């Protein structure tokens, strides 16, 4: 296999130097694994050699190069231990906990490396182990979609969201398919597309009787957010009431999608967020009062989430208006900008848009200074 990288590179260049990610998508392989094979860091298995040869029209040259004697057998070859499924599941729970403290920038490389290992193992696994790894791969892709979204890399988040949907379908798990569609609703919310949020959330609720309480809570909460973005508080409240009634029934032990259990007063957080998005001053006043109750009971360890919630309350108070409190909360939220959360930055940048009536005042000038510090 000594000349395999050179042979593959020559044919790749002859076809215009196709990017690694594009080639991986075309062949349905993980780009990290494919890159190692093309660099000669991993042996090229026969099925991949055939795929590359056919894709580049190499007339058997790539297959022959891959078949030549090469390095010793990859120590990762062989049966995949079933215990690895539980290992990755426990690691995922730890990543979610770390995200609350660290934010996305430190976690993305670690989670990406583990996802690539899961993808490599999945290709070799069979039966229950393969299904378990597909489920873990789906959950890791979902987390990466969230981390990239929180970091402000919308394009990368969209790719991971699409990967989540694909893996969820491959796993055959209806709960994961619903969860993957709700993740697309969350991405659409950041694009201020309320109608798309509703579309994805309703799709996530398809076959609702067969869905767990947890994925129904997630989908209902996102659908409520979409209606709030369109100014329909009544429908948002109806959906949130349904979600709140399901929360006590959430009892599965899967490590993904657990914000309804992890976040104190999750239903109230969703409600205050929705009320703040309708565009109504009366709804904003209700949201500000509810945020007072929520923030008083939050753990100080949830630094990023506390800052996001404070920024949302600041937006509500800016619309009420209550300039002094809005500025105080914006300052508190801006102090956590070091977490690298683009979501927090986005919430802070939105505050002046709710404060147009008092931006020329001293409080307004101070608000602009705070927002400028994170812009």
What pLDDT score does 1 carry?
Answer: 40
What pLDDT score does 267 carry?
Answer: 93
The verdict on 143 and 193 lying in the same domain is: no
The verdict on 317 and 290 lying in the same domain is: yes
Q: Is residue 144 part of a domain?
A: yes
What pLDDT score does 184 carry?
Answer: 98
Q: Is residue 307 part of a domain?
A: yes
The verdict on 193 and 168 lying in the same domain is: no
The verdict on 133 and 163 lying in the same domain is: yes
CATH number at residue 233: 1.25.40
Q: Are 62 and 46 spatial neighbours (Cβ–Cβ below 8 Å)?
A: no
Last residue of a domain, one of 172, 187, 207: 172
Under DSSP, the state recorded for 71 is S
Q: Is residue 322 part of a domain?
A: yes
The verdict on 320 and 367 lying in the same domain is: yes
Q: Is residue 269 part of a domain?
A: no
What pLDDT score does 76 carry?
Answer: 57
CA distances (Å), origin 346, targets 138, 207, 219:
27, 35, 23
How many angstroms separate the CA atoms of 133 and 120, rounded?
A: 10
pTM of the model: 0.76
Please say whether the dihedral angle defined by the alpha carbons of residues 134, 137, 143 and 144, taken in this order, is positive or negative.
Answer: negative
The verdict on 238 and 292 lying in the same domain is: no
> Nearest 5°: phi and psi at 257?
65, 35
Q: Is residue 348 part of a domain?
A: yes
The verdict on 23 and 109 lying in the same domain is: no
Last residue of a domain, one of 172, 204, 239: 172
Q: Is residue 138 part of a domain?
A: yes
80-104: burial string, b at 16+ Cβ within 10 Å, e else: beeebbeebbebbeebbeebbebbb
The verdict on 221 and 296 lying in the same domain is: no
Last residue of a domain, one of 252, 269, 301: 252
Q: What is the mean pLDDT of each run of 10 residues along the chain (375 residues)?
A: 76 82 87 85 86 88 79 59 93 86 84 94 94 97 95 94 96 97 96 97 95 97 98 98 96 88 89 96 96 87 86 95 95 86 90 93 95 90
Question: What domain range includes position 166?
Answer: 86-172
The verdict on 313 and 356 lying in the same domain is: yes
How many distinct structural domains can be found in the chain? 4
What pLDDT score does 73 carry?
Answer: 46
Q: Is residue 74 part of a domain?
A: no
The verdict on 291 and 370 lying in the same domain is: yes
The verdict on 346 and 285 lying in the same domain is: yes
What pLDDT score does 70 carry?
Answer: 55
The verdict on 177 and 138 lying in the same domain is: no
What pLDDT score does 77 carry?
Answer: 61
What pLDDT score does 248 carry?
Answer: 94
Q: Is residue 323 part of a domain?
A: yes
What pLDDT score does 21 carry?
Answer: 87
Contacts 24+ apart (CB under 8 A), 105-114: 105/151, 105/340, 107/147, 108/144, 108/147, 108/148, 108/151, 111/140, 111/143, 111/144, 111/147, 112/32, 112/144, 114/88, 114/140
């Amino acid at each position: 296999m000594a000349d395999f990288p050179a042979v593959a590179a020559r044919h790749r260049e002859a076809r215009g130097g196709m990017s690694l990610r594009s080639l991986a998508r075309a062949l349905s392989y993980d780009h990290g694994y494919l890159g190692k094979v093309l660099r000669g860091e991993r042996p090229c298995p026969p099925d991949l050699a055939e795929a590359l040869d056919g894709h580049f029209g190499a007339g058997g040259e790539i297959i022959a190069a891959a078949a030549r004697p090469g390095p010793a057998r990859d120590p990762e070859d062989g049966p995949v231990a079933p215990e690895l499924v539980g290992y990755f599941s426990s690691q995922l729970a730890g990543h979610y906990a770390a995200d609350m403290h660290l934010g996305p920038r430190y976690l993305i490389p670690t989670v990406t490396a583990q996802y690539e290992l899961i993808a490599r193992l999945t290709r070799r696994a069979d039966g229950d182990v393969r299904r378990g790894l597909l489920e873990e791969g789906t959950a890791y892709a979902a987390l990466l979609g969230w981390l990239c979204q929180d970091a402000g890399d919308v394009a990368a988040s969209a790719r991971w969201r699409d990967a989540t949907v694909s893996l969820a379908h491959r796993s055959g798990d209806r709960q994961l398919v619903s969860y993957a569609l709700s993740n697309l609703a969350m991405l659409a919310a950041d694009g201020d597309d309320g109608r798309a949020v509703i579309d994805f959330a309703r799709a996530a609720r398809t076959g609702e009787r067969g869905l767990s309480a947890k994925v129904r809570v997630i989908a209902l909460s996102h659908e409520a957010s979409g209606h709030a973005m369109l100014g329909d508080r009544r429908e948002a409240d109806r959906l949130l009431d349904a979600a709140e009634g399901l929360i006590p029934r959430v009892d599965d032990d899967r490590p993904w999608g657990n914000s309804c259990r992890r976040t104190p007063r999750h239903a109230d957080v969703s409600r205050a967020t929705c009320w703040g998005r309708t565009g109504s001053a009366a709804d904003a006043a209700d949201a500000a009062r509810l945020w007072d109750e929520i923030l008083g009971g939050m753990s100080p360890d949830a630094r990023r989430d506390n800052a996001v919630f404070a920024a949302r309350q600041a937006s509500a108070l800016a619309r009420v208006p209550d300039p002094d409190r809005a500025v105080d909360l914006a300052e508190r939220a801006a102090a956590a900008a070091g977490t690298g959360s683009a979501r927090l930055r986005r919430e802070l940048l939105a505050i002046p848009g709710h404060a147009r009536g008092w931006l020329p005042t001293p409080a307004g000038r101070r608000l602009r200074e705070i927002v400028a510090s994170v812009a």
